[in-house]
Amino acid sequence: MKKFILFILITLMSTGAILAQEEKKEDKPVRAPFESGILIDSRTVFNPVKKTLEFNIQHRFAQIEDFNNLYGIYGASNIRLALNYSVMDKLMIGFGTTKDQKLQDFQLKYVILEQTRENTIPVGLAFYGNMAIDGRNEDVFGLNYEFTNRFSYFAQLIISRKISYALSLQLAPSFSHVNAVLPGYEHDKIGISFNGRLRVSPQSSIIFNYDQPLEIEAIYENKEPALKPKANVALGWEISTSTHAFQIFISSARALVPQYNMMYNTNDFFDGGIFFGFNITRLWSF
């Protein structure tokens, strides 16, 4: 009988130990690899929880010139206002409107994988896609105008890694397409973005973004394209709370919809093509 009780006790203890081990092994997603769905000109793997409404204000002043235009602040600016809604924890849909070219964009982000604390999944992975409609006068599209001439697209796979409490990095290959272009220009562009944040205090981070359009001759439509877009370099500072993120930065991109940066950016960061900008993100939970 003693042996039987001992057997039951050992069995229960070992079962308990196994259960405890299993509880330990439950691997949760890492906490906040990024504070906002937007990082300067790029998107992040961060998605607000289900039933959250996100409001984005993206503002870009004119090119920094001199004190007379207060380093671009008095010049003609570009602005984008967007509302995004998290339908599920992993799925966000949204709509935005931009001043330049009167762009109206519809966007979708789906978080495919979340990096976990114990590295069961070592990286985060998300898909971001949008479709934008150019709202300018139809004369811009020339003869044989059709409504679809206004459309442009952007698709991106975002791979992220929260390396430490302070440092999170992202690498994001992308494909941009514009339906109607001038003769000599390209319709498609493959690009790669590299960005991240380095937290320097509980609420503040240094942030950076680099977008490089790739010149791939195999997909050229023209022998020599009329425009080879320049890389977008950006550096800034982020201050965040649980429902707000505020980013202030300098960037060499004026466009606020990513395909227009990848296709048409003519500003060289190292040759004076720099703009002041800021992003504000506000979250409401329902």
Partner 1 sequence: MKKFIPISLVFFAVVFFSACEYEFIKPLDPGIDPNEPQSFSSDILPIFEAQDCVSCHSSVGTQFSLEAGSAYQNILNLNLADTGNPEQSVLYTVPDPTNPDQHPATYTTEQAARVLIWIQQGAQNN
Backbone angles phi, psi at 242, to 5 degrees: -65, -25
Task: Give whichever of 246 and 276 is closer to partner 1, judged by the CB atom.
Answer: 276
Task: Give whichever of 79 and 198 is closer to partner 1, judged by the CB atom.
Answer: 79
Judged by CB under 8 A, the residue of 53, 57, 81, 91 near partner 1 is 91
Task: Give whichever of 91 and 239 is closer to partner 1, judged by the CB atom.
Answer: 91
Judged by CB under 8 A, the residue of 3, 5, 68, 202 near partner 1 is 68
Say what the alpha-carbon torsion angle 90, 96, 98, 101 is, to the nearest 10 degrees: 100
Q: Any residues with CB less than 8 A from the CB of 61 and at least 6 apart, and which? A: 71, 72, 73, 75, 77, 275, 276, 277
Judged by CB under 8 A, the residue of 93, 235, 239, 280 near partner 1 is 93
Considering only the stretches 26-34, 140-148, 233-241, 274-282, report the one whose residues sit in contact with partner 1 under the rule CB under 8 A: 140-148
Task: Give whichever of 79 and 280 is closer to partner 1, judged by the CB atom.
Answer: 79
Asked if 247 and 36 count as a contact pair (C-beta separation under 8 A), the reply is yes
Judged by CB under 8 A, the residue of 56, 78, 84, 193 near partner 1 is 78
Q: Residue with structure tokens 């442009």? A: 152
Judged by CB under 8 A, the residue of 30, 82, 158, 181 near partner 1 is 181
Asked if 253 and 235 count as a contact pair (C-beta separation under 8 A), the reply is no
Task: Give whichever of 179 and 212 is closer to partner 1, judged by the CB atom.
Answer: 179
Judged by CB under 8 A, the chain residues 192 through 221 that form the site for partner 1 are 221
Beta strands 91-98 and 167-178: pairing type?
unpaired
Tokens of 78: 């570009």
Task: Give whichever of 106 and 165 is closer to partner 1, judged by the CB atom.
Answer: 106
Tokens of 155: 């698709």
- Asked whether position 139 contacts partner 1 by CB under 8 A, the answer is yes
Considering only the stretches 37-45, 89-97, 116-124, 230-238, report the one whose residues sit in contact with partner 1 under the rule CB under 8 A: 89-97
Task: Give whichever of 55 and 141 is closer to partner 1, judged by the CB atom.
Answer: 141
Q: Any residues with CB less than 8 A from the CB of 111 and at least 6 apart, and which? A: 45, 47, 89, 90, 91, 124, 125, 126
CA distances from 211 to 18, 116, 231, 269, 271 (A): 48, 27, 6, 12, 17
DSSP designation for 29:
B
**What is the secondary structure of 58-127 as a DSSP string?**
EEEEEEP--GGGGGGTTS--EEEEEEEEEEETTEEEEEEEESGGG-EEEEEEEEEE--BTTSSS-SEEEE
Tokens of 153: 């697209």
Tokens of 102: 């009167």
Judged by CB under 8 A, the chain residues 27 through 66 that form the site for partner 1 are none
Binding mask 229-248 for partner 1 (x = CB under 8 A): --------------------
Judged by CB under 8 A, the residue of 116, 149, 203, 212 near partner 1 is 149
Per CB under 8 A, residues contacting partner 1 are: 68-70, 74-76, 78, 87-88, 90-91, 93, 99-101, 108, 110, 129, 131, 136-137, 139-144, 146, 148-149, 151, 153, 155, 177, 179-183, 185, 187, 221, 227, 254-255, 260, 264, 266
